[in-house]
Amino acid sequence: MANIPEELKYSKDHEWVLVNGDTATIGITDYAQQSLGDVVYVEMPNEGDNFNAHDAFGSVESVKAVSEIFTPVSGEVVETNDDLNDTPEVVNDDPYGDGWMVRVKMDNEGELDALLSSEEYEEYLKSEE
Amino acid sequence: MTDQNLKKTPLNAVHRELGGRMVNYEGWDMPVLYPAGTIAEHLRTRTRSGLFDVSHMGEIHVDGPDAIPFVNHLTTNDVTRLVDGQAHYSALTYENGTVVDDLLVYRFGPERLFLVVNAGTQDKDWEWIASHKGDFDVDLRKASDDYCQIAIQGPDALGILQTLTDTQLADIKYYHFTEGTVDGVHSIISRTGYTGEDGFEIYAEPSRAGQLWGKMLEAGNYGSDEGILPCGLAARNTLRLESSMSLYGHEISDEITPLEAKLGWICKLNTEFIGCEALKAQKAGGLERTLVGFEMSEPGIARDGFDVYSAGEKVGYVTSGSPAPFLKKNIGMAYVPPAISGSGTALKIDVRGRMVGAVIVPMPFYKRER
């Protein structure tokens, strides 16, 4: 069963968001990493890039598959987790911690309201099965 | 989630019990990976041993006085060179030299051959083969439902399998086979595989598949740190790619000839098979494209179908591309014009809109130490 921390918000694309002031830290969920299998490569945006909510900002690749990652919120990328270039497997080992991908300075915090709570995401996963 | 229309091997329930993630592969419900994951499965096969259910492959018996001339007429390799108990890799070709399928041809006797073809192409292969029977004095029998096929591969494979059989496995040479018993079950024991490792492929009655699979896992200490691992289709693919083996629909197809795919070594052009004239002409006229191996020189993974560029021009496409778990590089195979096929040639590959550097390298990417 996938781990779904209560303190995070979730997208239906299986990204998680941790909010700190006007900054959102984004990664992929435990469910997403389990579905992908061994992560071997993470392609990330550049710091300073701007994205609208639901834009693809990068991709996660396993041996077999490529999965795009979508930003759940609009804003500017202020930091990327460059450690993942050398150790992409951290996305599998610690998806909600060291496996984080980008930090975005949000343009519109109201977009957070469209995201799912942990309970809602759990329900969503059940409905997907 | 189970699609009732998918075909199942006799080990379907076993894969599910083992936690295999099942996918639709060419109409078959097959495990793509098990909980250990593709990288672990791949590495374990290289260093110790891996177990593969390949029961989806197709089998055809060709018996009768004209068995050898008939198969020699249909396939590119020279069947007359086989001795009893020997197998070889070959291809079925169309008149234009492109590939119906690749296959193994086993010789049980001068009037008894056994063909092993791909899962997804077996109906097409059967129709092709049966339609060319003509006046050949042969009896053709579709036998896919008569066999399960289990591959045990890797440096520990011989030792594990030896605990289950009286047959002296070390006496079976590479690409040779014998009939014997495995855990008391009558089997064809073939020293062949699709991983680049030493190993065996076992053909037996489907009802005994669960017994053989279970015994091989047990004998291989499945569950221990260095024990055998069941391996899914994803590992099967990365293992064959590291070893530069062709996969039908990728490196070879009904639009590609074996010569283009660097399979000239299985094309014995003096044997007058279907497609032989086209291949002779292609050889004489020179190839327009040839298969090369490459590794990525910049971060990025080439995938099947991606376009290949040289000096700003599109020159070809990727047939198979993936991370190579043992080599720890991102590798692939591609078709390019012969003029730029030399090792060391720099290429660019269009990775979803990003031009990523790659360099042509010699194949095979991986070769086991003997």
- Strands (DSSP E) contained in chain B are 21-25, 28-33, 50-53, 58-63, 86-93, 99-109, 112-117, 139-142, 148-153, 177-182, 185-190, 199-204, 229-230, 290-296, 307-310, 313-324, 329-336, 346-351, 354-361
Q: DSSP letters along B271-286, please? A: S--TTHHHHHHHHHH-
Q: Distance between CA atoms of B325 and B42, rounded to whole angstroms? A: 7
Q: Distance between CA atoms of A124 and A119, rounded to whole angstroms? A: 9
Paired tokens of B336: 């390019």
As a whole number, mean pLDDT of residues B327-355 equals: 97
With b for 16 or more beta-carbon neighbours within 10 A and e for fewer, the B273-302 pattern comes to bbbbebbeebeeeebebbbbbbbbbeebbb
Question: Distance of CA B202 to CAs B81, B231, B368, Å?
Answer: 24, 16, 22
Q: Convert the pLDDT of each residue in B109-125 to its tens digit.
A: 999 999 999 999 999 99
What structural domains does chain B harbor? 12-55+147-242 (3.30.1360.120), 58-140 (3.30.70.1400), 288-361 (2.40.30.110)
Q: A1, A61, A64: which to substitute to probe chain B, counting the most B Cβ within 10 Å?
A: A64
Q: In this complex, do B37 and A59 lie within 8 Å of one another by their Cβ atoms?
A: no
Q: In this complex, do B325 and A62 lie within 8 Å of one another by their Cβ atoms?
A: no
**In A, which residues are within 8 Å of B238 by CB distance?**
63
Exposure of B367 by Cβ count < 10 A (0-12 exposed, 13-18 middle, 19+ buried)?
Answer: exposed
Residue of A nearest to B21 (CA): A35
B38 in contact with chain A, both atoms CB, cutoff 8 A: yes
Paired tokens of A106: 């949000």
Q: Distance between CA atoms of B290 and B338, rounded to whole angstroms? A: 6
Report the percent of chain B where pLDDT is more than 90: 98
pLDDT recorded at residue B2 = 55
Q: Distance between CA atoms of B72 and B309, rounded to whole angstroms? A: 39
Q: Convert the pLDDT of each residue in B254-267 to its tens digit.
A: 999 999 999 999 99
What structural domains does chain A harbor? 9-107 (2.40.50.100)
List, in sequence order, every residue forming a beta bridge with A43; answer none if it has no partner.
A59
pLDDT recorded at residue B53 = 98
Q: DSSP letters along B173-185, please? A: PTTBEEEEEETTE
Q: In this complex, do B323 and A66 lie within 8 Å of one another by their Cβ atoms?
A: no
Q: What is the bridge-based pairing of β-strands B50-53 and B229-230?
A: parallel
Q: B21, B22, B30, B38: which to substitute to probe chain A, counting the most A Cβ within 10 Å?
A: B38
**In B, which residues are within 8 Å of A40 by CB distance?**
39, 301, 323
Residue found under tokens 């070893």: B243
Residue found under tokens 């004998």: B219
Q: Under 8 Å CB-to-CB from B253, ≥6 apart: which residues?
A: B98, B99
Which 115-174 residues of chain B touch chain A by CB within 8 A?
A: none
Q: In this complex, do B322 and A37 lie within 8 Å of one another by their Cβ atoms?
A: no
- Check whether A70 has a pLDDT greater than 90: yes
Question: Distance of CA A43 to CAs A119, B239, B355, B361, Å?
Answer: 30, 25, 13, 25
Please tell me the distance in Å from B363's CA to the nearest CA on chain A. 20
Q: What is the bridge-based pairing of β-strands B185-190 and B199-204?
A: antiparallel
pLDDT recorded at residue B370 = 76
Q: Are A32 and A95 in contact (CB under 8 A)?
A: yes
Q: Under 8 Å CB-to-CB from B38, ≥6 apart: which residues?
A: A37, A38, A62, A63, A64, B232, B234, B235, B238, B325
Q: In this complex, do B38 and A43 lie within 8 Å of one another by their Cβ atoms?
A: no
pLDDT band of residue B213 (cuts 50, 70, 90) is: very high
Residue A54's H or E segment, with its range, is: none
Report the percent of chain B where pLDDT is more than 70: 99
Helix (H, G, I), strand (E, B) or coil at B81: helix
Q: In this complex, do A37 and B301 lie within 8 Å of one another by their Cβ atoms?
A: no
As a whole number, mean pLDDT of residues B163-182 equals: 98
Nearest CB partner across the interface for B39, out of A61, A63, A129: A63
Exposure of B49 by Cβ count < 10 A (0-12 exposed, 13-18 middle, 19+ buried)?
Answer: buried
Which 280-309 residues of chain B touch chain A by CB within 8 A?
A: 299-301, 303
pLDDT recorded at residue B3 = 62
Residue of A nearest to B233 (CA): A64
**In B, which residues are within 8 Å of A49 by CB distance?**
none
pLDDT band of residue B224 (cuts 50, 70, 90) is: very high
Q: B33, B43, B304: which to substitute to probe chain A, counting the most A Cβ within 10 Å?
A: B33
Q: In this complex, do B37 and A64 lie within 8 Å of one another by their Cβ atoms?
A: no
Nearest CB partner across the interface for A66, out of B32, B299, B303: B303
pLDDT recorded at residue B369 = 85
Q: Convert the pLDDT of each residue in A10-62 to its tens digit.
A: 999 999 999 999 999 999 999 999 999 999 999 999 999 999 999 999 999 99
Question: Distance of CA A61 to CAs A44, A67, A68, Å?
Answer: 11, 6, 8
pLDDT recorded at residue B4 = 72
